[in-house]
């Protein structure tokens, strides 16, 4: 019932400013699923409301870039010891962050390089944390923002497409459950695609 109430709140209060704010929170270290922001907004746009699907994607991507930049900046300036200390703290655990998750994101970044900033934005459980290893590695800011915006833009477009389509087939009280199911399946597809891209680049580089 709480999830249904939250979906209802989103449907009633979503505008371009709140979409940007909520997606900035989602993309930072604060746990907040993008599935309860973009799809409900697109769902609302499909009903003929004031929102425009294209502007929803733009607002969501801008918010995602802001949130990712927060993580990147904290990691860039604070460094690995403080980031890991935060991950092991009570506050870090409240934010659903721990040393294992940060290490997983960092290993992913080390294994796949700068491209992981793009691919990682499309993978559940990695998406929110991939900015941290980019900051720790002091990745060039322009490249970081480019990959982040591209990845977030694709992910938000997919979520918006799902939300817009579901308006015609799914009742409002089933929206969250349906979107979560679809987004996870899509995320797994992107994992496979990302691995394929990385393997191709490695093969091309060696050749």
Render pLDDT for 127-160 as a digit per residue (tens, 0 to 9): 777 788 888 878 888 888 998 898 889 888 988 8
Total domains in the chain come to 1
Half-sphere exposure of 87 (CA within 13 A, CB side): 22
How far apart (Å, rounded) are the C-alpha atoms in residues 102 and 81? 12
φ, ψ of residue 98 in degrees (nearest 5): -145, 175
Identify which has the larger pLDDT, 153 or 169.
153
Domain that holds residue 191: 2-206
What is the DSSP code (8-state) at residue 174? Answer: G
Helix (H, G, I), strand (E, B) or coil at 167: coil
What pLDDT, on the 0 to 100 scale, is given for residue 77? 84
User: Given phi > 0 = left and psi -120 to 50 = alpha, else beta, which region is 32?
Assistant: beta
Q: What is the pTM of this model?
A: 0.74
Render pLDDT for 34-51 as a digit per residue (tens, 0 to 9): 677 888 888 888 887 788
DSSP, residue by residue, 65-120: HHHHHHHHHHHHHH-HHHHHHHHTSHHHHHTT--HHHHHHHHHHHHHHTTHHHHHG
């Amino acid at each position: 019932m709480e999830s249904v109430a939250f979906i209802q709140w989103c449907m009633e209060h979503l505008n371009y400013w709140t979409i940007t704010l909520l997606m900035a929170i989602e993309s930072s270290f604060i746990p907040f699923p993008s599935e309860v922001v973009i799809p409900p907004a697109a769902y609302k746009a499909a009903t003929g409301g004031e929102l425009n699907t294209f502007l929803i994607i733009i607002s969501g991507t801008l918010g995602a870039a802001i949130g990712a930049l927060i993580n990147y900046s904290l990691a860039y300036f604070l460094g690995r010891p403080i980031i890991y200390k935060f991950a092991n703290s009570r506050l870090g655990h409240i934010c659903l962050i721990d040393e294992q998750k940060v290490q997983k994101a960092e290993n992913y970044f080390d294994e796949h390089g700068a491209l992981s900033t793009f691919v990682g934005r499309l993978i559940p459980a990695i998406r929110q944390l991939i900015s941290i290893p980019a900051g720790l590695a002091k990745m060039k800011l322009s490249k970081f923002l480019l990959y982040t915006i591209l990845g977030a833009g694709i992910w938000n477009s997919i979520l918006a497409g799902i939300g817009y389509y579901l308006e015609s087939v799914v009742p409002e009280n089933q929206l969250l459950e349906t979107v979560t199911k679809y987004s996870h399946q899509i995320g797994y597809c992107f994992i496979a695609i990302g691995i394929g891209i990385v393997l191709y680049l490695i093969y091309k580089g060696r050749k």
